[in-house]
Structure 1
Amino acid sequence: MSETRVFLLPDLGEGLTEAELVSWHVAVGDEISVDQPIAEVETAKSTVEVPSPYAGIVAELHGQPGETLDVGKPLISVTPVSVAGTAADDAAPAEPAGPVVEPAETELGEPAAEPAKAHPEAEAYREEEKAGSGNVLIGYGTPGGHGVARRTRARRSSVALAEPADTTPAGTPAEDDLTLLRTRVPGRLGAVISPLVRRMAREHGVDLGELPGSGEGGLIMRRDVEKAIHAPVVEPAETTPAETPKSPAEPAKTTAAPEGTDARTGLPIAARTPVRGVRKAVAANMARSRSEIPEATVWVDVDATGLLELREGLKAGGAQVPGLLAFIARFVTAGLKKYPELNTRIETASDGSQEIVSFDGVNLGIAAQTDRGLVVPSVRAAEKLTARELDAEIRRLTDVARQGKATPTELGSGTFTLNNYGVFGVDGSAAIINHPEVAILGVGRIIDKPWVVNGELAVRKVTELTLTFDHRVCDGGTAAGFLRFVADAIENPTTLLADI
């Protein structure tokens, strides 16, 4: 009988370690082809479809919609079929029992071991697998049509690629890890295990992610799995409060809070919401920003009447008019050319030394509120675009971000962020810098306010600009100079908009 191939959830880009399973596109028993989309998953960056690297019959789906899966853990099991559409011949050379888990960091699309003689139908499947289509899923893909797999790591010796039968003596655990292919366990950088140990753990329901390794560097050995298999089962503790015996001298005490009640406040717990996906990524990034960046904030009120009058004049002429945010984006890119310190990044070397990295260009991030949380897609090479071109790209990026279809490149390549929180009806905000950037500019709502114009009081359209910056890359003079540049451009827009 042909082996079942287990496809592990690949790294979906940006070094992400997990993804939430949104939906399956296939069911057990379906016949699938190479590169056919099999599932939709949501990462901290976006929602993507995962294609299958194997053709065959779906044997098992490893996960339910709504479940969070670790990168490198099983996603789907596929049983190969012959070119005639039937299961591979039982007369094929004997194979190890149980499915063979493909390692996450080996040569993609290439079998881990080749038997000396393969059945013709099985060999046909291998050739189909090697051919691939070349379709790539961020950080993963099948090889192109040259019959040669793209390798992601140095070639291992043939000894390391050979997988022995299950008859390996139990008393030689060291040989398991010296002669078998090793794969990395997600979340445990030092723990690598053999396919034989993986299979033993899977058959007995042992969670390798929670198992400490007794080998060198935390290596999980066969003896560790055997110990976990024979370990006594610990019953979970009672969740209901136990009664404390009463005595004549003291009243009974409650040893635990009632179920569904918060122990600290005494209030009923209404709901528990897991922090995952975009919310988890935002929380981690904001916490890192606040812990690493010595930020400072400057702000200024700006008379935006001139900019609004310019837009009204363009509308009256029948021209297609960019949105206000596109105009401000144009002013920001011009300001960053004059004050490039705010368009940088600080990198820390392994020895603790730091350097400021400057960029030849501006990838302008636009903060966008979506149903999945706050995301920041970026307009690449924004300094080269006119206000109209910026407007079109901002609208496109906002739309794909709200659909959850923005790519990791679009969401993770910004060098400076522009945040329009005025749409929420607020005037200002001490924003948190989008790490690893060094500054973020916020724009408040535009409202009527009393303003002095040529010595006389008038009602003008006023907004507030707020700049939060990393004090390590510049001082207040630079930050104030940039903020004043953008403010002056809003008050006198025609000086910078000759190219719209």
Structure 2
Amino acid sequence: MSAETSVSGVAGSATSARDFILPDLGEGLTEAELISWLVNVGDEVHVDQMVVEVESAKSVVELPCPFAGRIQALHANPGDTVSAGQALLSVAEAGAVSNADSGSASSEASVTDADSHGGGANLIGYGASEPKARSTKKRSFGTKTSQSDFTAPSTTAQAAEPAATPPAVAAPPAPASEPPVHTASQPPAEVSVSPVSSPIVRKLAKDNGLSAKHLPGTGPGGVVTRADVLKAIDSGKASPATQTTPATTSTEPDSMPAGGTADRDTRTPITGLRKVVSERLTKSRQEIPEATIWLDVDATELLNTKRALEARTGEKYSLLSLVARFVVAGLKKFPIINSSIDTEANEIVTHGDINLGLAAQTPRGLMVPVVHGADQMSLRALRDSVSETVGKASTGKFGAQELSGGTFTLNNYGVFGVDGSAPIINLPEVAMLGLGRIKDRPWVVEGELTVRKVMYLSFVFDHRACDGAEPSQFLTFVAGCIENPISLLPEL
């Protein structure tokens, strides 16, 4: 059953089916990528049953259906970008007779708006009351971490966009000099363009000098999809509305001189998490007067202590968890480092809790999950929390709560085989500590040259929050703990 049919059925009868719309995702997020369906057309579902998995710029979540009944239609495919207020699926109420197969010519497709089902309400049980009769007027939807030197993979959605209007009959637009002629067999010229249901697709086309409605659509009913726009961009195909604009055509790939390399280039839209990371990194660089200091540290005793601790307890301890314990002690000793900047109030906010962020490379890209209340944990509890957080990085499926509320970030880029870096501060925090690789290096011990396990520490801080004294003292404190772990005992 096509998406167009099911939407028409809803418009024709308020009791035949109800649409589950993508709710307000919070934190200013207005769109998400559909990862996978957990149900199929024809399945019976109950209230609050998980039916779809979506990925926002913050996290990957499963959404529960607020209705009970039989799945009548799925309005998007895996890989599609959907906007808040857009219908995800239609559910026919138990015992209701579907109008989808009636073929009624009087039914006009209408797009579900956010108000018809209380858009922005809670996921669990929203829209439980009977929906209001919807207008048949056609509407369009509004369009709408952490930092290190990692690179995040990007993916381009190739699936079809959901259909929100009836299939349009393709016909060439009438000449500008004479009005269109309407006959019984010819649709009006205003609907003789390709339907475009997604505001994201329209915006992508507009940003690249194209008119989405003039592109051929490959989606259900001729709907123009993101893939269609990307194909037009790559091929340098301008729409009739933009072909005569010199400024637009001059930047298209087909204007490249013969023998150019444009045909070998690959264009990847900056969307989703990559877009959020890019915006935050840019804002951090523009807004923060940052300074970086670094120190090389003899980590030989740290490795010895790790082995002794594991032998004594029979448990495993990662170097990251041990350094995290030193960092927590340092933040308690120098609380200004555990701060953030409130730019609106022009204030430095020194946090009472230590919520330790761990920069992690995930399949989704760079993320900074947070260990909340790290200052209240024992070494064993902190080790377990760090281990659990690092384990989740292999999938990148962190909840929104796990990615928010950080007060300081620890970045272990040594796992990538590099010695050091000048990391970008994770807004709105004021500092970040980076750990480089551990490597055998010549080192002087008690006047004798020997080989030791040496690592580099890179520390970047916001000069608005503090000057050089506290950051230097914090860094040397952590370095002292690494070089002589027993020195931390008085701090415990």
State yes or no: 1:348 paired with 2:343.
Answer: yes
- Whether the 8 Å CA contact 2:59–2:399 is kept in 1: the answer is yes
Counterpart for residue 324 of structure 1: 319
104 and 329 in structure 1: CA distance in 2 versus 1, 3 angstrom threshold: farther
Tell me the distance in 1 between the aligned counterparts of 2:201 and 2:270: 25
Tell me the distance in 2 between the aligned counterparts of 1:325 and 1:22: 32
Unaligned runs of 5+ in 1: 89-94, 111-138, 150-160, 167-175, 188-200, 213-231, 243-253
Instruction: Tell me how far 1:490 sits from its aligned partner.
Output: 0.9
274 and 79 in structure 1: CA distance in 2 versus 1, 3 angstrom threshold: same
- Whether the 8 Å CA contact 2:143–2:200 is kept in 1: the answer is no
What whole-Å deviation, never above 9, does each CA across 1:204-223 have from its counterpart, x for those lacking one? 646584999xxxxxxxxxxx
Give the number of the structure with larger relative contact order, counting CA–CA contacts within 8 Å between residues 6 or more apart. Answer: 2
Instruction: Tell me how far 1:13 sits from its aligned partner.
Output: 4.1
Tell me the distance in 2 between the aligned counterparts of 1:258 and 1:348: 42
Tell me the distance in 1 between the aligned counterparts of 2:489 and 2:233: 69
Root-mean-square deviation over aligned CA pairs: 4.0
Instruction: Tell me how far 1:324 sits from its aligned partner.
Output: 0.8
Equivalent runs, 1:242-321 vs 2, <5 Å: 259=254, 266=261, 268-321=263-316
State yes or no: 1:335 paired with 2:338.
Answer: no
Tell me the distance in 1 between the aligned counterparts of 2:116 and 2:490: 53
Instruction: Tell me how far 1:481 sits from its aligned partner.
Output: 0.9
Choose from 452, 456, 462 the match for 1:464. 456
- Whether the 8 Å CA contact 2:109–2:165 is kept in 1: the answer is no
Choose from 400, 416, 427 the match for 1:424. 416
Choose from 26, 51, 57 the match for 2:64. 51
Instruction: Tell me how far 1:103 sits from its aligned partner.
Output: 2.3
Unaligned runs of 5+ in 2: 1-12, 100-105, 145-163, 167-190, 203-212, 217-231, 239-248
Instruction: Tell me how far 1:369 sits from its aligned partner.
Output: 1.3
Q: Give secondary structure in 1 for the equivalent of 2:418.
A: coil
- Whether the 8 Å CA contact 2:360–2:368 is kept in 1: the answer is yes
- Whether the 8 Å CA contact 2:85–2:112 is kept in 1: the answer is no
Tell me the distance in 2 between the aligned counterparts of 1:411 and 1:69: 22
Choose from 475, 481, 484 the match for 1:489. 481
What whole-Å deviation, never above 9, does each CA across 1:14-68 have from its counterpart, x for those lacking one? 3322111111222333332221222111222222211111122323222111111
Tell me the distance in 2 between the aligned counterparts of 1:81 and 1:97: 24
Equivalent runs, 1:168-247 vs 2, <5 Å: 185-187=142-144, 202=165, 205=195, 209=199
Counterpart for residue 173 of structure 1: none
State yes or no: 1:440 paired with 2:435.
Answer: no
Counterpart for residue 112 of structure 2: 101
- Whether the 8 Å CA contact 2:63–2:123 is kept in 1: the answer is no
Tell me the distance in 1 between the aligned counterparts of 2:252 and 2:111: 47
Equivalent pairs, count:
394
Instruction: Tell me how far 1:464 sits from its aligned partner.
Output: 0.7
Q: Give secondary structure in 1 for the equivalent of 2:66.
A: coil
What percent of counterpart residues are identical?
Answer: 46
Instruction: Tell me how far 1:334 sits from its aligned partner.
Output: 0.8
Tell me the distance in 1 between the aligned counterparts of 2:481 and 2:201: 60
What whole-Å deviation, never above 9, does each CA across 1:130-152 have from its counterpart, x for those lacking one? xxxxxxxxx532169xx999xxx
Counterpart for residue 42 of structure 1: 55
State yes or no: 1:455 paired with 2:447.
Answer: yes
Choose from 368, 374, 397 the match for 1:405. 397
Counterpart for residue 41 of structure 2: 28
- Whether the 8 Å CA contact 2:85–2:119 is kept in 1: the answer is no
- Whether the 8 Å CA contact 2:57–2:272 is kept in 1: the answer is yes
